[in-house]
Every structure is written in C-alpha cells, then in structure tokens.
Amino acid sequence: MFDFRFAHKEIEHPTLDGDWNIAQTIHHLADSHIHAYTRMKLILTEDRPTLKTWEQETWAELDDAKQSDVTASLSILRGLHSRWSTLLSQLNPDDFARVGIHPDMGELSIDHFVETYARHGHGHIRQIQIALVM
C-alpha cells in the first residue's frame, strides 16, 4: 500500500510526464474515478445510456485541482472505492456485459470500466512513486 503522507514540497514535485504535479494527479484520480463510478451506475440503471465526456486536462487546471492539500481527494477516493467495491460485489455476471455509449469510443461495458480503472489507479500510483524518488 502506498503511503500518501508526504511533505508539501514533495506534493508539488512534477510527475514524470511533466504536465501535472503529484497533487493534481491525486485530484485527477478522484475526478476520474467519480466519473467512472457514475457512468457504471448509469449503465446499470438505464438501457444503453449515452455517457458524458469530460475534459480532464481542463479539470486539472481548475483551482481545486491545483491545491496542494490532497486530503479531500483522498477522502473521496476512500469513500468512493468502498461504495464501488460494494456495488461490484453485488453484480451478477450479466451485469458486467451491460453497456453505455461513449460519444468517442462507442460501446463501453461495466467489465471495461473495471479493467480500465483498476489499471488507471495503479498506473498513477506508480507514477507518483517514481516521481518521489527522482
């Protein structure tokens, strides 16, 4: 498990891609996982819903995403992942095949979101770990 308790200076350390600092990456994780969770709930409760897109680069430039205090985003991630785990553990196998329609990517299934966002979180955590040792 990665320990997110690091000094203010380290939070502002740039990540490997040079675009976002560590705090922005953590805020991005909260934003993107909220979107994925919401999309999954829409897919589970509607017939082939159209999934809203979002401009993640622009979101990362908003003042709340530029804050170096990541406490709120970490709380969001903890609570959201708890809810998400509960939701996923109660699905039946057919639910994972349900789809929503993304305007740019076409049909996306619940199974797609599970695979994508597991990798997404791990990828950014790894990116943060590498940035901290640079």
Per domain, the residue ranges of the chain are: 8-133
Rg, C-alpha atoms of the chain? 16
Distance CA 62, CA 52 (A): 19
Distance CA 39, CA 36 (A): 5
Are the C-beta atoms of 73 and 36 separated by less than 8 Å? Answer: no
The CATH number of 8-133, from 3.20.20.105, 1.20.120.450, 1.20.1050.10, 1.10.1040.10, is 1.20.120.450
For the entire predicted model, the pTM comes to: 0.84
Residue range 65-79: mean pLDDT, rounded: 94
Residue 78 has pLDDT above 60, yes or no: yes
Q: What are phi and psi of 102, to 5 degrees?
A: -90, 130
Are the C-beta atoms of 11 and 132 separated by less than 8 Å? Answer: no
| pLDDT, tens digit, 9 for 90 and up, residues 3-61 | 444 444 445 555 555 678 889 999 999 999 999 999 999 999 999 999 999 999 899 88
